[in-house]
Amino acid sequence: MLERMIVEPGATARLEERDPADTLGLPGKEEGKKHLEDLLGELSDLQTRLYAESKRSVLLVLQGLDASGKDGTIRSVFTGVNPQGCRVTSFKAPSTLELAHDFLWRIHAACPTRGEIGIFNRSHYEDVVTVRVRELAPEAVWRSRPERIREFERLLTDEGTTVLKCFLQISKEEQQERFDERVHDPAKRWKYNPADLETRKLWSEFELAYGEAIAETSTEGAPWYIVPGDRNWVRNVAVATILVETLRRLDPKYPEPRIDVPAPG
């Protein structure tokens, strides 16, 4: 599954060739939900061990167009983890204070501490993609940022943070359905923003900008995964699999007790 989503270093993202409704070979929705339950149980155990070990951290970056499912992914995948070892940061338009610093200042301050899993709902990639598409900065500024990001993420990995980046890809048709649902569902109406409709007019520009940014910043130490997002259950299984496979590889250990503890019996 991971091989179908990962963007290898130096490769293009091929967003236009990927199917947002891809099931990634999963047998079906009900089987997928059962598989997700197993993954979340293992994720809870691995996260507890990472928190107890307190030597390394994991950063999960979630990016995607409006209504791509970033909030839903967080709710579904992290439902069983210990809140003490998990921190979510949602990045919105930068404040006056944040604009007075370099574009990575607020990002670095929100990175996970040792033992934590940090989740970014949007991230520093807004300062490449959105800034580019909406012409909020000259090309000379946003063109240089992917290189700065590669250097920044290499610093994080060198210091013990494993960086995972997921682009939640949805189709234009699915996005429209989700916008319509926001209008008609009272529980989701608060999310509706008329400005989202203006963003839809720039779909091609956003897709091009994301494709280039992903290709420029997918590295061995901080890879990008293109996650099919039209089916929520596939998306959730995919992100959970990426996390669990990564944590299995890290294999965090419980620390030795600080005092001699007699063996049971």
CATH number at residue 222: 3.40.50.300
260 domain-assigned? no
For the chain, what is the HEC assignment? CHHHHEECCCCCCCHHHCCCCCCCCCCCHHHHHHHHHHHHHHHHHHHHHHHHHCCCEEEEEEECCCCCCHHHHHHHHCCCCCHHHEEEEECCCCCHHHHCCCCCHHHHHCCCCCCCEEEEECCHHHHCHHHHHCCCCCHHHHHHHHHHHHHHHHHHHHCCEEEEEEEEECCHHHHHHHHHHHHHCCCCHHHCCCHHHHHHCCHHHHHHHHHHHHHHHCCCCCCEEEEECCCHHHHHHHHHHHHHHHHHHHCCCCCCCCCCCCCCC
In this prediction the pTM is 0.94
Q: Give residue 261's pLDDT.
A: 64
257 domain-assigned? no
- Measured CA to CA in angstroms, residue 53 lies from 48, 50, 135, 248 at distances of 9, 5, 44, 14
Q: Give residue 195's pLDDT.
A: 75
264 domain-assigned? no
Structural domain containing residue 80 = 2-250
239 domain-assigned? yes
Q: Could you report the per-residue pLDDT of 25-58, keeping only the tens digit for each? A: 999 999 999 999 999 999 999 999 999 999 999 9
Q: Give residue 199's pLDDT.
A: 81
240 domain-assigned? yes
25: left (phi over 0), alpha (psi -120 to 50) or beta: left
263 domain-assigned? no
Q: Give residue 265's pLDDT.
A: 63
258 domain-assigned? no
96 domain-assigned? yes
Q: Which residues of the chain have pLDDT under 70?
A: 261-263, 265
Q: Give the count of domains, the chain.
A: 1
